[in-house]
Structure 1
């Protein structure tokens, strides 16, 4: 690039994407004179999914703004909770976020998940076709133009990932209403209806069951229920809301 030079400063929350030297102090960036400010920001490592506002000399501009020589740019993070206009809030997770997908489903959040690597183009296309927010730790995937909406998952720890997503999007929580295996809706079921999935001890010990309307998987309050209850309780407490009826 040999066009006008601008000065770009990133908010500390975006530090995971940029060198520390660019945080809190504006650094010089040479542009090509025709590319957008959004392109310049992404070229410095920050997906636009993580940008809440772009301030040029103190005024907010669109990502389509063409930088002029000497402009001072401040890049701010997404404001939380983030609204996603135009569609019910739904998610799509890539192959690396299986535990997060199951926990979101446990909380009743509509969460599609690809258990095999179908490739970045297919994921971005599905996000657009189904109007789902794509969650990923792949920065390149989040920069794909066909993506409808996306968000970077900042942690590698499932508990922190869940807290981050709930804090960022504040989805409505309906615990125990979705199948953690396929995302289908659960309905009450009799013991006879799910008998073919129950071992002898389970048949004798439990009387309350649910079944997925899509894949048929049976659910009951088994040995791991206390662990799942704790996950749900922490999520509800962090959200400050009661589960939806």
Structure 2
């Protein structure tokens, strides 16, 4: 069995370079064998056996040469629209996706893998996680491993892998709700005195009511938006 270099993170060190022998029981499917070696099927693209493409249900036989390739980017996801669900460890990534207008639900508490997988299926959301066990759950609608621990790299990876539509400044970074234009009077009860005196242009979340304006952190957020849009322009 031979794994693509992109999947080296998941497989034991001795299997990372070239083809290595793998003992199978003659009953387990290829998908089961691949996962038993540490690679979530969410990260697997084409499976080739002696040069021909096979499904994960293929039962490998002795002497077959198996190639495990990564997912093709940008990755197509069944159904529409493209939506995400992030686990408790990816709060910063969730907020940055929302900043870009991407539908990104987020669980701020650890509700457990079964509940996350069930929500992914019920709402048809792509589960984003660094938990390999979660990504192996069969209930998932779809899933993807987040390779980096750094938010900047995480965002670039997700945008490169899924190429979601970007609509910056249209979602609430706190709850994922959609924003609407708002007058100062409409959000006055949510503003401190200095903000009321200094700013005149506001938006408000339709769901949680949170108010937004171009405050002290706007330049930092704008840099994230510009970088994401620039990445999309280069890719196009």
Match of 1:186 among 173, 179, 190: 179
> Bigger CA drift: 93-102 or 10-19?
10-19
CA distance in 2, matches of 1:44, 1:188: 51
User: CA shift at 1:162, angstroms?
Assistant: 0.1
CA distance in 2, matches of 1:26, 1:37: 16
The answer for the alignment partner of 1:112 in structure 2 is: 105
Q: Normalising to structure 2: TM-score of the pair?
A: 0.98
CA distance in 2, matches of 1:185, 1:112: 12
Aligned length: 235
Give SS of 1:193's match: helix
Stretches of 4+ aligned residues off by more than 2 angstroms: none
User: CA shift at 1:214, angstroms?
Assistant: 0.2
Q: Unpaired runs of 5+ in structure 2?
A: none
Q: Does 1:47 align with 2:53?
A: no
Give SS of 2:21's match: strand
Q: Unpaired runs of 5+ in structure 1?
A: 1-7
CA distance in 1, matches of 2:58, 2:12: 24
CA distance in 2, matches of 1:58, 1:153: 29
User: CA shift at 1:26, angstroms?
Assistant: 1.1
Match of 1:63 among 46, 56, 63: 56
Match of 1:97 among 90, 94, 97: 90
Q: Normalising to structure 1: TM-score of the pair?
A: 0.94
The answer for the alignment partner of 1:219 in structure 2 is: 212
The equivalences for 1:105-144 within 5 A come to 105-144=98-137
User: CA shift at 1:33, angstroms?
Assistant: 1.0
User: CA shift at 1:86, angstroms?
Assistant: 1.6
CA distance in 1, matches of 2:40, 2:174: 30
Match of 2:229 among 217, 236, 239: 236
CA distance in 1, matches of 2:69, 2:232: 24
User: CA shift at 1:28, angstroms?
Assistant: 0.9
